[in-house]
Amino acid sequence: GQNIDQPTEMTATEGAIVQINCTYQTSGFNGLFWYQQHAGEAPTFLSYNVLDGLEEKGRFSSFLSRSKGYSYLLLKELQMKDSASYLCAVSNDAGNMLTFGGGTRLMVKP
């Protein structure tokens, strides 16, 4: 079975840094995804980690520890437009199915 946990809500201040954690227990693993979803819109791809370590992409970075079943998404220099839900998703062994966590709703305040 698959179990993916992430905080329901987080609040941060514009210009600050925020870290959104995700823990998972899955029967198979072929990578972990982070998606961003603004209210009423489609989830959009942010990052993909399959090996341990940190992947940096502009203001966003994603970290993975496979032995701990743990990932985080780091958002730097927060902007108001970063207010959205952030979805953690784990891929199965075959790489053809994603199981999503419940999402973390991030609110960025001035």
Partner 1 sequence: EAGVVQSPRYKIIEKKQPVAFWCNPISGHNTLYWYLQNLGQGPELLIRYENEEAVDDSQLPKDRFSAERLKGVDSTLKIQPAELGDSAVYLCASSLEDRNEQYFGPGTRLTVT
- CA dist 109 and 104 (Å) reads 16
Q: Which member of 75, 87, 106, 108 binds partner 1 (CB under 8 A)?
A: 87
Q: Which member of 34, 69, 73, 101 binds partner 1 (CB under 8 A)?
A: 101
- CA dist 44 and 58 (Å) reads 16
- CA dist 32 and 48 (Å) reads 6
Is 43 a residue that touches partner 1 (CB under 8 A)?
yes
Mask for 4-23, x = binds partner 1 (CB under 8 A): x---x---------------
Sign for the pseudo-dihedral over CA of 18, 45, 103, 66: negative
Closest CA to 6 of 19, 22, 18: 22
Q: Which member of 1, 42, 51, 57 binds partner 1 (CB under 8 A)?
A: 42
CB of 78 to partner 1, least distance (A): 22
Is 51 a residue that touches partner 1 (CB under 8 A)?
no
